[in-house]
Amino acid sequence: MKSLFLKIRRRLAKQDRPEAVQHEVFSRRDFLLRDVRKSEIGLEIAPFFRPLAPKAEGYRVETIDILSTEQLRQWIHDDSSLPNELINQIEEVDHVGSASRIKETIQYSGEKKYAYILSSHNFEHLPNPIQFLRDCNDILSENGQICMAVPDLRCCFDRFRMPTQLDDWMQSFYEQKSLPSAYDRFRAWYKRCNNIGVLDHAESEIVLHPNPLKNLNTAFAELQETLANGHSEYKDCHVSAFTPSSFILLIKECIELNLIHLDVVDMVPTIGDEFLVRLKKMTDLNPLSSEQRRDLYFKMLAELGLPPSGSK
């Protein structure tokens, strides 16, 4: 299965981040590994051959991937665009299975707590983000944290998509969705574009002019074929799409509904094609006021280039 997932991971692995935009005081890895101690036990999701916390450097980290170590090695061996030397750089996979249900994948018994969970360009692929965050909350230690790099929809092939909304997440959670649906795939593919632009960190301007990559009728035909033949195997796509403010808004709304008990404690706004975020377990979770919620909605609209109501 040569999915989009591998293509994305290959592209990310070829780049020395932060890509496209250099910032003299910023280190992506330093931010994501802040407060991470090598002596503490952690989890890294799908590190492939460019881990954030390499075992070879002494990190007591366990890895999760949908494929086994041998399957990943075979992928590289079969892919002519990747040098075979990378095979030796693949992190050993400790737990094979979906990150959407971490407790099930790692066969969690409650005896061990993790100090951190690392995720780079994986969160947007999850079919059930609320369940993922709830599982993370259960397996993290008291001061545990999730450290993530998340693509900004404005700077990748999701440029023509609207941000994922709370009801999308809620439906996935209450239906306990375990795979990207046929409609997730349709949405991701018919709006997919050739945007490989970035946000200029200094001026916050979008560069490049994206164009749709797939004919709508072609995407519709693929949807009909999938629905006719059934949908039982994993087919990868970006299930969710975010801007920084839309991400914060989703987290805050889930907190208000008592669906999750993790909150954003730090964020680096978009540099290159991604924003960075850290979430921690919190005992004192304050819901948004109506004014704060409104302000986040306006920030999200501004990120999309939409003016406030009534403006010209």
- Tell me the Cα Rg of the chain: 19
pLDDT digits (tens, 9 = 90+) for 163-188: 999 999 999 999 999 889 999 999 99
Report, as an integer, the average pLDDT of 198-223: 71
Percent of the chain with pLDDT over 90: 61
Tokens standing for residue 22: 């250099």
Number of neighbouring beta carbons within 10 Å of residue 172: 24
Tokens standing for residue 290: 């109506």
Q: Dihedrals φ, ψ of 2, to 5°?
A: -90, 85
- What local confidence, expressed as pLDDT, does residue 196 receive? 64
Q: In the chain, where do the E strands start and end?
A: 41-45, 60-65, 95-96, 114-120, 140-151, 262-271, 274-281
Type and span of the H or E element at 136: helix 129-139
Q: What sign does the dihedral 66-72-76-77 (CA atoms) show? A: negative
pLDDT digits (tens, 9 = 90+) for 34-92: 999 999 999 999 998 889 999 999 999 999 998 899 999 998 888 877 888 888 888 99
Q: How far is CA 113 from CA 42, 60, 140, in A?
A: 9, 13, 5
The residues that bridge with 116 in the sheet, in sequence order, are: 42, 145
> What are the chain's domains?
4-302 (3.40.50.150)
Distance of alpha carbon 260 from alpha carbon 267, whole angstroms: 18
